[in-house]
Amino acid sequence: MNSPPPLLLPPPISKSLLNIILQINLSGIIILSLTDTSNLININRMEKTLVILKPCTIQRGLIGEIISRFERKGLKLAGMKMAWLTDEILSEHYAHLKEKPFFQRIKDAMSVCPVIVCCWEGVDAIHVVRQLAGATNGRNAQPGTIRGDYSMSVQENIVHASDSPETAITELKRFFSDDELFDYKMNNLLAIYANDEF
């Protein structure tokens, strides 16, 4: 991943969040221990997720409109490129649907023309982006969601969005190399989140 040059200063103490924990063991003796709990209470909830603007979105001239939905929500763009997806990469991407009768149909639809592949970053970004996308079937998706506002179809449903943290990691690796994802500072974070939310 593209990162800024290493800082000369040490990271702030709060990052390592050391906590004193009182424990009482079986014989009733109080034990005082100094424990790093940063991984337990999840101080950094920033996530990255994959979004693909499908060929229907490109064909309908909706690229700017859909990108702006994610931007206006407050998500940060960490990577974006145009790519023409091959049957091979689509077979991998839609492997969970390989037994379905529409497997080849969705792969064909996804390779009608190039797509836009993006990585969006934010607190709980995977869940937030799925909520913004809406239900798979555009006809059932809630108005206000991307699919609810722009789609009349199950297949031609504007965007793909990763559905879990595990999937997001796998899918980002599938579509982006490390140097295509960018780690940079947004100056508006305190206008988007409270200071203890990110």
CA atoms lying within 13 Å on the CB side of residue 160? 24
Catalytic site residue 160?
yes
Q: By CB under 6 A, which span of 30-38, 59-67, 154-162, 187-195 interacts with ligand TYD?
A: 154-162
Q: By CB under 6 A, which span of 23-31, 40-48, 59-67, 150-158 interacts with ligand TYD?
A: 150-158
The CA distance from 73 to 51, in Å, is 14
Minimal distance, residue 64 CB to ligand TYD, in Å: 21
Considering only residues 51 to 110 of the shown chain, the ones binding ligand TYD according to CB under 6 A are 97, 102, 106
195 secondary structure, DSSP code: T
- Burial code of 60-90, b = ≥16 C-beta within 10 A, e = fewer? eebeeebbebbeeebbbbbbbeeeebeeebb
Q: Residue 42: left (phi > 0), alpha (psi -120 to 50), or beta?
A: left
Considering only residues 122 to 141 of the shown chain, the ones binding ligand TYD according to CB under 6 A are 136
Among residues 44 and 59, whose Cβ is nearest to ligand TYD?
A: 59
Minimal distance, residue 114 CB to ligand TYD, in Å: 18
The SS3 assignment for 48 reads: strand
- For position 155 contacting ligand TYD by CB under 6 A, the verdict is yes
Q: Which residues are catalytic?
A: 160
For binding to ligand TYD (CB under 6 A), which residues are involved?
97, 102, 106, 136, 154-155, 157, 160, 163
